[in-house]
Amino acid sequence: MTATRQEMACQICLAPLNTLGSPPTYVHPIQLTTDGHEPVPVPVSQLDTVHRTCDFCGDPFPTWTLLGGDVAAIAIGTTGGLVQNFGHAWAACATCQTYIDDGRNDKVIDRAAQTLGLGNHPEARERIQQLHLAFLNTRVPGRTLITTTAWPATAITARELPKVRDRLARFYRGSDHLPLALADTDARQQIAAGLDRSRLFWIDSDFTDLAEYAAQKLPDVTISRDLMPSTDGLLVWSRPVTRRQITAASWTTTSDGWHLVNYRTIGGGLDGRPLQRLREHVGWLAPMSAVQVHEQHLLPGDHSAAALLATWLLVAQQAAEVTTAEIDRVLRRSYARTNRPAPEVRVVRIRASRGSTSPSTRSAPGDPERSQTSRFWVSGHWRNQPYGPGRALRRPVYINPFLRGPDDVPIKLSTTVRMLGSRKPKPETS
Ligand SMILES: [Zn+2]
Ligand SMILES: [Zn+2]
């Protein structure tokens, strides 16, 4: 793994690949147990998720890439070798990073020894220490956030969204690096400024289901300003969506188009100081992929921004009922102190059909009845419809996206429909 050669991972198992010889052949790491498939190398930059582990301790949720001395292939341990061919870029988990920052390398060695099943064996610990120090003693200042780690999802509530946004903007303005598309300082500053101006949207769970379902069938979409519910925005779905497992997306208007960024939540499963530090230094969201798009840019339906586009379109076509979430007083006061207008979070729900009430407003989350009653039926498909001056423009409109009645009344169906969720579609009734 070097900065000059593009890092590769296996498209099948998403493990980073090691290289052998020259010209290089790509091999799975030796400690990796696979089903025997041949590695299919693709550049890491093309993957949203890479199954990397912490190079210090083996933790499956590495957070930072550190640069240091080039530590050549060394293999130790018998219970699943931890170490090989690290090169000069090492992945560190949040816990190891916290110990390294605090000068507690002994704690990092404890973690590695535990992973390797070496216990307190003094000689083994010394070997690990030598290895770590060979890297750390030549470490270059700075670190890069690893954005491809598949963290367990963290729920973000509507009320938390202003804080989540502010922390993200601060991270963009900070000195920790980001890979690839977001390595550019100008883009980071633009996105940070855009986040400050952003309208905040929190998508409730039913609307998230609808948006995800609709995103899977999205046709090509021509980008234009009037698709967007605001000039700049940050939108959070109530759970990760699509196979990319995106939790949030932002759009930022620039002089010649927009930055669109997808995010995943980070830090799930951490606690104590490593979690505190991560929240303080990064926040809740890590950018997964970023693109620049321009007015009248045609984006294919399977574009990385499909979930965002589908959600915009559904909001634009009045499938949404948008209300404002209450923001707690402490947060409002802290905004007032810095002369910022009180933050507003728009909660997006499915617009209730005739005579019914949105179940989200009637039953509490976690209510066991909820999963039975709040399902909606979907038979939707996208159709390009003319709009705008002279009806010369076309945009996809989702047709007949859902039918819904009051929670306690069975839904009568007059068309073939498909239900989201685990239950099988019911036969037609009239
Ligand atoms: Zn593989
Ligand atoms: Zn670690």
Dist. CA 53 → ligand 2 center (Å): 8
Mean pLDDT for the stretch of residues 394-417: 56
Instruction: With 0.85 as the threshold, say if the pTM is over it.
Output: no
Dist. CA 83 → ligand 2 center (Å): 12
pLDDT of residue 134: 85
Mean pLDDT for the stretch of residues 337-363: 68
Instruction: Indicate the average pLDDT of the chain.
Output: 82
Dist. CA 278 → ligand 2 center (Å): 14
Mean pLDDT for the stretch of residues 222-233: 94
**How distant, in Å, are the alpha carbons of 219, 288, 315, 379, 387 from that of 318?**
19, 29, 5, 17, 15
Mean pLDDT for the stretch of residues 182-211: 92
Tell me: pLDDT of 396 over 60.
yes
Element (H, E) at 334: helix 329-337
Take residue 8 and report the two structure tokens written for it: 């590769």
36-89 pLDDT per residue, tens: 899 999 998 888 899 999 989 989 999 999 998 777 655 555 544 444 556 788
Q: Among all ligands shown, which has an atom nearest to the Cα of 111?
A: 2
Dist. CA 94 → ligand 2 center (Å): 7
Dist. CA 359 → ligand 2 center (Å): 44
Dist. CA 59 → ligand 1 center (Å): 19
Q: How confident is the model at residue 368 (pLDDT cuts 50, 70, 90)?
A: very low
Dist. CA 107 → ligand 2 center (Å): 10
C-alpha 197/C-alpha 257 separation (Å) is 16
Tell me: pLDDT of 392 over 80.
yes
pLDDT of residue 85: 52
C-alpha 20/C-alpha 102 separation (Å) is 36
Strand-pairing partners, residue 221, are 299
Percent of residues, the chain, with pLDDT higher than 70: 81
Tell me: pLDDT of 268 over 90.
yes
Question: Is the omega angle on the peptide bond into residue 229 within 30 degrees of 0, that is, cis?
Answer: no
Question: What residue spans define the domains of the chain?
Answer: 8-145, 161-419
pLDDT of residue 72: 61
289-332 pLDDT per residue, tens: 999 999 999 999 999 999 999 999 998 887 778 889 888 888 88
pLDDT of residue 77: 52
pLDDT of residue 110: 92
Mean pLDDT for the stretch of residues 98-114: 93
Dist. CA 101 → ligand 2 center (Å): 13
Strand-pairing partners, residue 410, are none
Q: Among all ligands shown, which has an atom nearest to the Cα of 47?
A: 1
Mean pLDDT for the stretch of residues 369-392: 67
Percent of residues, the chain, with pLDDT higher than 90: 49
Strand-pairing partners, residue 43, are 8
DSSP-derived secondary structure letter, 182: G
Q: Among all ligands shown, which has an atom nearest to the Cα of 38?
A: 1
Dist. CA 353 → ligand 1 center (Å): 48
Dist. CA 37 → ligand 1 center (Å): 6
Dist. CA 63 → ligand 1 center (Å): 22
Take residue 170 and report the two structure tokens written for it: 């601060």
pLDDT of residue 44: 87
Q: Among all ligands shown, which has an atom nearest to the Cα of 132?
A: 2
pLDDT of residue 68: 85
Taking a 5 Å cut-off on Cβ, the residues next to ion ligand 2 are 54, 56-57, 59, 93, 96
